[in-house]
């Protein structure tokens, strides 16, 4: 067990807040539950997970506005040690408290990890990325919107904390900030209003065999997404056409490397570098390079 205090840099107006963090294991976490419960405001907490080298979750992080508990949970712990009023069952009771709202930027992944890796279910959970209807779900813009808008937060801090890189056991501060940030974001008036109509996620009511299939499908889909290349080389014809207003027209040589025509998810940037044209396409956070 260990504890420390840190400050966040995502929300400038809250830069002076001192956040108490406690790291513990499944057997000891209940010792810190009373203080954590007392720190909860307006029945809301933030949740994130930390992963091991095999991709499975190893640690569950829960956060109020001022306190964070990171709980290491062994997926191999026997069910016999989790009977009665065990610390594990107290954690399950917290997650299944219908009066306590739980928030995460990607609650689909969190609720999946809770069941597949820990055997835990959750109710009254909400996904913040689903609040944005104008941006691709995996885009930085959707993340900024879910946290209250780019005018109220530090963009570079958000990129550092909520990058696509999976949070591993070495990223305790990142995981803690993720849980704290979504908890705070839920209190921002504009975000709070949108959350009133957001659908609740409830895995407790599912048949466990069906839930196992659904969670496995979600995890497999996320793994396939993660396998997409960050950069892909594309080919364009050497001859190009200059248009007005500093615009230029490029034609792709091969169909499989052509730029998608969905402007909502694409951003194409043309750069002149050593007399060579370079077209960079950003598609759902995937950077693709096009060269003449």
Query: C-alpha distances in angstroms, 62 versus 99, 110, 210?
Result: 16, 11, 27
Check which CATH number belongs to the domain holding 119 and give it: 3.30.420.10
Q: Are residues 135 and 209 in the same domain?
A: yes
Q: Are residues 117 and 238 in the same domain?
A: no
Query: C-alpha distances in angstroms, 38 versus 66, 104, 274, 287?
Result: 10, 21, 61, 45
Q: Are residues 113 and 214 in the same domain?
A: yes
Rounded to an integer, what is the distance from CA 68 to the centroid of its chain? 17
What pLDDT is attached to residue 65?
93
In the DSSP assignment, the letter for residue 31 is G
Task: For residue 260, give the 3-state DSSP assignment.
Answer: coil
Domain span including residue 160: 2-226
Write out residues in the chain with pLDDT < 70, as ranges: 53, 76-84, 164-170, 229-234, 238-246, 254-292
Any idea which residue has 């696509």 for tokens?
Answer: 164
Query: C-alpha distances in angstroms, 280 versus 135, 154, 212, 251?
Result: 19, 25, 40, 14
Q: Are residues 142 and 258 in the same domain?
A: no
* H/E element, 110: helix 107-113
What pLDDT is attached to residue 82?
61
Looking at the structure of the chain, the number of domains it has is 2
What pLDDT is attached to residue 128?
96
Q: Are residues 112 and 253 in the same domain?
A: no
CA 130 to CA 133: how far, in whole Å?
7
Q: Are residues 151 and 19 in the same domain?
A: yes
What are the residues whose beta carbons fall under 8 Å from the beta carbon of 189, sequence distance 6 or more? none
Backbone angles phi, psi at 92, to 5 degrees: -60, -40
Q: Are residues 283 and 138 in the same domain?
A: no
CA 31 to CA 174: how far, in whole Å?
24
Single out the residue in 198, 226, 254 at which a domain terminates. Answer: 226
What pLDDT is attached to residue 46?
98
Q: Are residues 157 and 277 in the same domain?
A: no
Single out the residue in 226, 245, 262 at which a domain terminates. Answer: 226
pTM here?
Answer: 0.78
Q: Are residues 259 and 141 in the same domain?
A: no
Q: Are residues 209 and 257 in the same domain?
A: no
Single out the residue in 192, 226, 260 at which a domain terminates. Answer: 226
Task: For residue 72, give the 3-state DSSP assignment.
Answer: strand
Q: Are residues 182 and 266 in the same domain?
A: no
Q: Are residues 155 and 44 in the same domain?
A: yes
């Amino acid at each position: 067990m260990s504890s420390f205090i840190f400050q966040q840099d995502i929300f400038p107006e809250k830069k002076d807040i001192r956040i108490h963090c406690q790291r513990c294991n499944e057997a000891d976490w209940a010792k810190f539950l009373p203080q954590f419960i007392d720190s909860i405001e307006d029945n809301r907490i933030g949740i994130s997970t930390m992963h091991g080298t095999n991709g499975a979750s190893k640690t569950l992080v829960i956060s109020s506005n001022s306190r964070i508990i990171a709980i290491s949970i062994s997926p191999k712990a026997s069910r016999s040690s989790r009977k009665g009023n065990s610390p594990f069952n107290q954690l399950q009771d917290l997650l299944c408290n219908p009066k306590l709202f739980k928030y995460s930027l990607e609650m689909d992944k969190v609720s999946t990890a809770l069941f597949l890796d820990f055997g835990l279910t959750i109710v009254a959970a909400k996904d913040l990325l689903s609040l944005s209807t104008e941006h691709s779900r995996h885009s930085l813009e959707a993340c900024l919107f879910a946290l209250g808008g780019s005018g109220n937060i530090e963009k570079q801090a958000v990129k550092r904390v909520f990058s696509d890189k999976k949070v591993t056991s070495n990223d305790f501060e990142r995981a803690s900030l993720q849980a704290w940030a979504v908890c705070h974001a839920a209190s921002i008036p504009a975000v709070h209003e949108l959350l009133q109509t957001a659908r609740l996620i409830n895995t407790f009511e599912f048949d466990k065999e069906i839930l196992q299939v659904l969670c496995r499908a979600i995890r497999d889909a996320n793994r396939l997404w993660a396998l997409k290349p960050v950069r892909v080389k594309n080919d364009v014809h050497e001859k190009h056409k200059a248009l007005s207003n500093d615009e230029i027209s490029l034609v792709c040589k091969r169909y499989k490397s052509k730029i998608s025509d969905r402007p909502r998810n694409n951003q194409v940037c043309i750069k002149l570098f050593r007399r060579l044209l370079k077209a960079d396409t950003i598609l759902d956070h995937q950077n693709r390079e096009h060269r003449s």
